[in-house]
Structure 1
């Protein structure tokens, strides 16, 4: 009989799959290392088990202990599976930008999950780096994993992922393309492959808001490069010890939008349901296509599974809200699609300015059309309110008609995008759309920008 003694014995030996559609612009054989075949559906299963086994061997992790780690979700899943088999507890600290699916999955396998804010400095006591370190110090009989600096992370890929790719390509691999987060995957795999053939090129995929690319090119840690981003699983605002820049030949950066769009393309065009970093990797590979020839064998790593992102990249509303959905918007009908079922928020000429202010606060809007019994006769926006408040602190108790500006232009629902755009000026920040049923909807600067 052939069977695994436990789920951990199924980790590794994931397949290489040829990509045919999303990489048709590339003159090379492109093969995806599909790591979703691991039991926890990500490449992190490999290093999670290795880090635990090494910590057990040297006494850092004791029987019945608690495993503590800051994770974007996938490492936590790998650690949790190993903890179940080996009898440990888990506490995982995750940033609030990670998908709800990742948090729910970690709880489903028995882990305690603590959510921390994303938009804080790494040294901030609220950051998931700081919270996980503090819990590691405070919790009795615990082990803080620290995947970013834990050498077992990169060693895993030196011992497993690199040899697998070398064997599966019969030593013909010429390029490796990998999204870089903790750095373990790219560094460990690259070290093994370059030992076999120093001419193999290693490309790291970075995201805007991360420090890797500029640091690799200049040796400068530029804090101006650090800002919030949506892409999950790659990029950092720190320099993990597991990133060995000497093994990486170059980086390319991929936008949040491109990462999300190409994540969906992989599913629709290749039938491979993978996560956000895979989309980044494919778009990055396309950006690097001038580096490849017909004789080359390019391996790109697909880190995790699409099920982690069902509420994000695979959700049309989520994509549309961020302007990521590739819709060909040409008319007013397309511009108001996101809010055409929401009643227009308006004000009456005889209402007080305070009423308009409260309405703007309630609906989180910046401008309101103003009506009387005859129709739309004016408008009011944040700039008008601020200008009048500076001149008269009692403005809130005056009727709106005393400070309102000109009414917004009204267009038909078939009006073209370019014509609507011309109506948005410094003096006019919105356009009303006649829905031809007695109702109207509003188009703002934000709607125009989102359609770009």
Structure 2
């Protein structure tokens, strides 16, 4: 069989798998939405709430990842945020940001919500804005997966893809979105343009503190030993961590960080530093990794919450692209979980935490989005090969040989 034929067959198999996974996700969301609607329709009517798609956000399934649990002899759980109606954990954040803006008057009906994002937040905002009767403008780096901008446009939002540059540059996608909001206000008055600002807007943190974190505790209670996830804005880890610690001060909160991001060193050494920058080997901006949506080289207001709270973070785990790619293939083959890049980073870190705690513990993380948004990049062997990555053989369900044996959980010393 020729290489091209083999590649074509692989693409066909992956595409079929993706369609099946997407169909299953739609069915699960529909069933959850219907069940919730029947149970709460009278209460919603009394409160005057609309029974729209936004009511289906949250209360996502928590699944035990059987293969990783068996290997670590711990219970490894993943909160399946890809089963939100917009397909990612960012649905929660988008709804909270837009609803708070409408309540405060910073945004008026018919106005435009503007955001700079690597993709998933843009998709969620486009969905939420359509449901709430406002417009949406999204600026994203042009190296983000094409699936993401296509989804944003499918909701009727406007997308502008810009070249990746430093956040200090006026043409960084975040700054492009900010100027768009300012222009709308200048032309049409207060409330006509609203900059969502997911990195600094603490509605992000509140969405997870009052939603995601509470849901995890409700299901696992005090039996949960640790929670771990990667950070882009920092809202998920800060919000979930705060909610869990309020209920159980003994739970341990860990940061997962992809290669090229400076957050790991900020947490364990107290300084924002990346080896790629020091060695002058950075391949792309903002940092050298094939993962999307996590990792950053600045401290956001959402992340700052964890730095200002003494001993909130127990430690951090560095995750390589090689490990993330292999983990995504491993859980797809052994658990039927078809995940994106940030979810793969989270599962690698969850295994590290489980191994550090020892058998019998419970560890939870976030499955942020599915592999459906990463077919042309993270799930493309051709794209990975161009970046010097080849998915490892993950047929064996009894070992995780693809994990770097020299990497350990590092205690936090960031205060």
Superposed pair shares fold, TM > 0.5: yes
Q: Is the 8 A contact 1:122 1:238 kept in 2?
A: no
Distance 2:61 2:124 in 1: 19
1:350 corresponding residue in structure 2: none
- Are the aligned partners of 2:354 and 2:363 in contact in 1 as well (CA < 8 Å)? no
Which protein, 1 or 2, shows the higher relative CO under an 8 Å CA cutoff with sep ≥ 6?
2
1:124 corresponds in structure 2 to 169
> Do 1:177 and 1:205's aligned partners in 2 also have CA atoms closer than 8 Å?
yes
* Cα distance in 1 for residues equivalent to 2:173 and 2:276: 20
Q: Could you tell me how far apart the structure 2 residues matched to 1:206 and 1:94 are?
A: 21
Task: Verify the 8 A CA contact 1:177 1:204 in the aligned structure 2.
Answer: yes
2:291 to 201, 206, 231: 231
Q: RMSD of the TM alignment (CA)?
A: 1.8
Q: Note if 1:197 corresponds to 2:211.
A: no
Count how many residue pairs are aligned between Structure 1 and Structure 2.
Answer: 327
Separation of aligned partners in 1, 2:331 and 2:153: 28
Deviates more, 1:154-163 or 1:280-289: 280-289
The partner residue of 1:240 within 296, 300, 304 is 300
Shift of 1:44: 0.6
In structure 2, runs of 5+ residues without a counterpart are 1-36, 42-49, 186-191, 278-286, 394-415
- Residues 291 and 378, structure 2, Cα contact 8 Å, conserved in 1: no
1:19 aligns with 2:65: yes
> In the TM superposition, what is the alpha-carbon distance from 1:152 to its structure 2 partner?
0.6
1:7 is aligned to: 53
Q: Is the CA contact 1:264–1:279 (under 8 Å) kept in the aligned structure 2?
A: no
**3-state secondary structure, aligned to 1:21:** helix
Write the deviation string for residues 42-71 of structure 1: whole angstroms up to 9, x where unpaired: 111011101111111111111210000011
CA contact (8 A) 1:175 1:298 kept: yes
Alignment check: 8 A CA contact 2:238 2:302 kept:
yes
State the distance in 1 between where 2:94 and 2:52 align. 15
- Judging by fraction of residues, say which structure has more strand: 1
Report deviation, 1:306.
1.3
5+ residue gaps, structure 1: 329-452
323 and 23 in structure 1: CA distance in 2 versus 1, 3 angstrom threshold: farther
Q: Which residue of 2 aligns with 1:36?
A: 82
Contact 1:26 1:292 in 2 (8 A): no
2:101 aligned residue: 55
Tell whether 2:176 aligns with 1:134.
Answer: no
Equivalent in the alignment of 1:90: 136
Instruction: Answer whether contact 1:41 1:304 (CA < 8 A) is retained.
Output: yes
Match of 2:356? 291
Deviation at 1:323, TM superposition (A): 3.1
CA distance in 1, matches of 2:133, 2:236: 27
Q: Determine which structure has more spread, i.e. the larger CA radius of gyration.
A: 1
Which of 194, 213, 217 is residue 264 of structure 2 equivalent to?
Answer: 213
Q: Decide which of 343, 346, 365 is 1:300's aligned counterpart.
A: 365
Preserved contact between residue 265 and residue 274 of structure 2 (Cα < 8 Å): no
Following superposition, the deviation at residue 221 of structure 1 comes to 2.5
